[in-house]
Structure 1
Amino acid sequence: MAAGTGSGPVDFRTAVAAQGKARVTAAVLDLDGTGQEPVVYGDDTPYDTASIVKVDILSAMLLHARDHRRDLTARESAEAEVMIRDSDNTAATALWRAIGGAPGLESANRRLGLTSTQGGPGGLWGLTRTTAADQIRLLRAIFGTGPTPLDAASRSRIGTLMTEIAADQSWGVSAAADSGWALKNGWLMRTTTGLWDINSIGRVTTGGHHYLVAVLSNGSTSMADGVNLVERAVRTAVSDAAAH
């Protein structure tokens, strides 16, 4: 099943029973393994982020604050918490403006090692475009053991919030976990097509190993179908990664 970094010989879409116009890509990195690059399942092409970009926005905000030698204000902290835990859009818009919109996000991402993420136009942060491999780069800056522009307090802050997701939003990469997870999901119905973008990123613990996982999808006919597709994809990808 492993496709290697980038597109591989296995039809991942068929393997996870994607229906109709649905597309899906997964990327997995075993933090306890020796590999430095994620294994990518499917074509690592750009997708809309929807609300998974909120992890990126918070990372950029924390870098911005540190650059100005300050902590987040009480208001910014409250916005960060509800943005991640509850996926609050008003808070995300406020912090998107605070980081300078797409240019601010992209500036932070260059420091974080992301190479294939383009900020959404104007205030449309949910239309930021990204790849599964780039989301692993972001997760590595938060959960990895190597050097990162994010200081230890920032990494802990983001990671902890990702373990406190509202109960009704705890689907996604958690489907592959047996003893712990940290995640952020995104969901968006595109008004131009009526089809759904459904995404999930995070860290899962299974079989004693810690995996960074990003699953991006679009083209599902309903949110429920998209969530089911993402969960099939994460279980398939993590199971395969664990077997190699």
Structure 2
Amino acid sequence: MTSRRVRHHVLSALALLVVATATAGTVYVQGQAHAGARSPASARPSVTAPPGGEASVEPSVEPVAQPTAVDRQALLADALTGVDVPEGVRLSVAVLDVASGESAGYGEAAFDTASIVKVDVLVSLLLRAQDEGRRLTSAERQYATAMIENSDNDSASALWRTIGQAEGLDAANKRLGLVATEGGDGMLWGLTRTTAADQLTLLTRVFGEDSALSAASQAYVQELMERIAEGQQWGVSAAADGSAWALKNGWLPRSTTGLWDVNSIGRVSADGSVYLVAVLSDGNATQAAGIDLVEAAAKAAVGVFAEAA
């Protein structure tokens, strides 16, 4: 074979090798680069080709900054430092932003309910009526109206007996998801023990979608809580815009100390948002002092969400 023919065969073989190599890998990489605009050096893909395998592209991805979560719990604790809590007074607060589902709480202690338990009594009565497939009787409705709107104690005692006193309340609360509430002994419904967190749970069952209560039962409780007697329209309602509230208050002077339990629970609308709020306190020197404390705490709790929105 002449040297010219040898040179021709060598060149042909080299040409075939180049074509094969391009088919195996280079075309794939070029196709990837063609998909977008030319990247800066820091964002160019790196190309690796393992022995016997196809080249792959591994783009360099810059980390994306995540939004900082708002610590509502810390904000609530900080906001309450601006509330004047006299020495010897205990305070606990829980608040829920209905739209976002975010909540915050301050304090975990249990308190006597005083008359805020009347909402729980009515809810227990409605659950019992639902289970029995009936509406409330005319007498039960009269008692319920007086118990919630006017905080009538005799009406509360009548319905307390109807639901089976503490045993009936505790059974209903188990269904409702209240885990730290215990009914008062005998006819002492006002000495039922509860926490702010449990009262917030109760409010979600009255005003929220996830509830053992029927829609009709929820609407009934809400309607009564929106018609509180004029002299009792204090408490968490102080955090609302105008009359956009539904509430129940409780107040109880302790015979052994002369100090007052003052509590308030309910729903308020403020700055276009809706909040569920529970404020519990005891050891207050007077009822008026307790009301001032509860209202200041409710405003601070709602402000935590309104200002950080």
- 1:98 matches 2:188: no
Distance 1:109 1:73 in 2: 22
Matches within 5 A, 1:24-103: 24-35=91-102, 38-41=103-106, 43-103=107-167
Tell me which residue corresponds to 2:195: 131
Query: Unaligned 5+ residue runs, structure 2?
Result: 1-69
Tell me by how many angstroms 1:25 deviates.
1.0
1:105 maps to a residue whose letter is L
2:83 maps to a residue whose letter is V
Maintained 8 Å contact 1:2/1:241? no
Question: What's the CA shift string for 1:188-233, capped at 9, x where partnerless?
Answer: 0011111000000000000111000000000000000000000011
Tell me which residue corresponds to 2:83: 16
Tell me by how many angstroms 1:144 deviates.
1.1
1:126 maps to a residue whose letter is G
- 1:163 matches 2:226: yes
Question: What's the CA shift string for 1:111-140, capped at 9, x where partnerless?
Answer: 111111000111000000000010010000
Distance 2:71 2:150 in 1: 34
Identify which of 175, 182, 187 aligns with 1:111: 175
Greater RCO, 1 or 2 (C-alpha within 8 Å, sep 6+):
1
In the superposition, relative to structure 1, how do residues 141 and 221 fare at CA in structure 2: closer, same or farther (>3 Å)?
Answer: same
- 1:178 matches 2:241: yes
In the superposition, relative to structure 1, how do residues 241 and 9 fare at CA in structure 2: closer, same or farther (>3 Å)?
Answer: closer
Distance 2:266 2:290 in 1: 17
Instruction: Give the number of equivalent residue pairs.
Output: 238
Question: What's the CA shift string for 1:15-68, capped at 9, x where partnerless?
Answer: 311113111111100001142xx3002x12100000000000000000011111
The worse-fitting range, judged by mean Cα deviation, of 14-23 and 53-62 is 14-23
Structure possessing the higher radius of gyration over alpha carbons: 2
Tell me which residue corresponds to 2:24: none
Question: What's the CA shift string for 1:152-205, capped at 9, x where partnerless?
Answer: 110000001000000000000010001400000000001111100000000000
Distance 1:206 1:231 in 2: 14
1:188 maps to a residue whose letter is L
- 1:233 matches 2:300: no
1:93 maps to a residue whose letter is S
Distance 1:25 1:67 in 2: 34
Name the SS for the 1:142 alignment partner: helix
Name the SS for the 2:92 alignment partner: strand
Under a length normalisation based on structure 2, what TM-score does the superposition of the two structures give?
0.74
1:173 maps to a residue whose letter is V
Tell me by how many angstroms 1:9 deviates.
9.4
Name the SS for the 1:220 alignment partner: coil
Distance 2:161 2:76 in 1: 42
Under a length normalisation based on structure 1, what TM-score does the superposition of the two structures give?
0.93
Name the SS for the 1:39 alignment partner: strand
Tell me which residue corresponds to 1:217: 281
Tell me which residue corresponds to 1:242: 306
Distance 2:78 2:89 in 1: 13
